[in-house]
Amino acid sequence: MNTPIRRLSIFTMALFAILMLNLSWIQGFRANALIEDPLNKRQYSEYLSQPRGPIEIAGESVAFSEDVAEDGTSPLYQREYTGGGMYTPITGVLSVYSTTGIERAQNSLLDGTDDRLAVRNFRDIITGRDPEGARVQLTLDPAVQEAGYNGFQNGGFQGAAVALDPSTGAVLGAVSYPTFDANDVASVTDRNTAVANFQELENDPSQPLLNRALNERYPPGSTFKVVTAAAAIENLDATPDSTQEAPDNLQFPTGPPLPNATPGGTCNGGEPDTLAHSIQISCNTSMANWAIEMGGQTLSDQATAFGFNPDEGEELRIPLPVTGSLAPPESEDSILGRAGIGQSNVEATPLQMAMVAAGVANGGEVMRPYVVDSVLDSDMSVVTETQPETFSQAVSASTAQDLKDMMVLVTGPGGSGTNGAIPGMEVAGKTGTAETGGDQGTHNWFIGFAPADDPEVAVAVVIEHGGGSGGTLAAPIARAMMEAVVTE
């Protein structure tokens, strides 16, 4: 064999070896990932030939499969959704264009291919029974979800709200507005219209596809003062009666001065103000001074204890992915002071601020949030059931009690959040009005929990570019969501 032929033979064999390795990698190691890829249209086509398990809230199916075949022979299953857009940010949608939300996160259980359903699947093969996906039961409370959804819809607001059971971490409500009706993009009989609708949603500047409750970060404004107060009590031995300088305008060695809530505003006539009163009326300058005294690392560490600053790859999943919130350590006084009042580089999701409120409500113990309560097989046997799990001990029980007492002042006479009060019941709260650095108006916040003496629900509400205050815009929605729990 001459040299050119030998080289060609070796090259050809090398190509075959590479081809075999590639096929082995795809079929042996990448098969499941490719099958589950939401861009796999063949996967979507297979979904249409078999029923998919329902997604349930309070025992009612809010997402289910229905045979829409017109010829009466080959089944053609289409996903149907109830509640308009109220549940879409959580349930997500199964469509020819994408799979999102719980539909994606729990896909293998819903379509019946999960290994935990192997025994059932084998039994169905033996008996000739048609396969069915498992039913996924969510933690959402319909009354809480509806109260939040109606508040945004009726007010014409954009933003989000989250309600948690502080003792377990169960997500009772997760509203993102604007939203969309999943049925508009789920049609299998008119795919062109469904795709066109989805593309229109993608191009909508109001971003109805964005789950603001879990995946949008906002400056939390004065609601972050709860974290600053927690750090002061835990690290500086502060008490609600401890005082801090509270000038009408706080001057820094560099950078612009920090005013109080309104130009010329005052907290205590310019005199030192107590921590309790600073929380009650939401004083900027005193809380900035607390942050400067403790230092940037201490403030950041306290935020981390509540759930901020997750390591890369360690962000929460509930099981939906949650964007990590940020409160990095600052060193320059001008930046650190503003971080202490929830501005500067501090950014939080509504879920994160609900975790702050829930941690205070639960004696300083932050529970890990979750939205899937249980998964049942088609025979109603339990496949999985979520057990409450501690996320962190953010503060001591005594610190949590001090924070709770101060937050009760916020919704009482003279507080900044009286619109969050529930008649006949003590409610703990904190308002926030966050500057956005633009000309679109402030973000308006309220976090809180009720009843203050035996908390059943913790909430966080943010209204984008409301231009008002957290006490006037966000607090009424938070109150309605809390009332849905405590007045049942």
Catalytic one among 95, 187, 222, 300? 222
Angle between helices 284-294 and 225-236 (to 10 degrees): 40
Cα–Cα distance for residue pair 215/201, rounded to 1 Å: 17
* Concatenated DSSP letters of 79-107: EEE-STTSSHHHH--B-SS-B-HHHHHTH
- Provide the edge-to-edge strand list for the sheet that holds 55-57: 77-81, 60-67, 55-57, 135-138, 372-376, 382-385
Cα–Cα distance for residue pair 436/347, rounded to 1 Å: 11
The half-sphere exposure of 264 on its side-chain side, counting CA atoms within 13 A, is: 0
Three-class SS state of 371: coil
Cα–Cα distance for residue pair 78/193, rounded to 1 Å: 15
Q: Which two tokens stand for residue 259?
A: 């005013």
Q: What are the CA-CA distances from residue 314 to residues 107, 307, 308, 402 (Å)? A: 22, 11, 11, 31
Considering Cα of 312, then 315, then 98, then 200, what sign does the dihedral take? negative
Cα–Cα distance for residue pair 422/445, rounded to 1 Å: 18
Q: Is position 331 annotated as part of the catalytic site?
A: no
CB within 8 Å of 276: residues ≥ 6 apart: 240, 241, 405, 406, 409
Which helix (DSSP H) or strand (DSSP E) does residue 159 occupy?
A: strand 159-164
Contact 93, 81 (CB under 8 A): yes
Residue 374 burial by Cβ neighbours in a 10 Å radius (0-12, 13-18, 19+): middle
List active site positions.
222
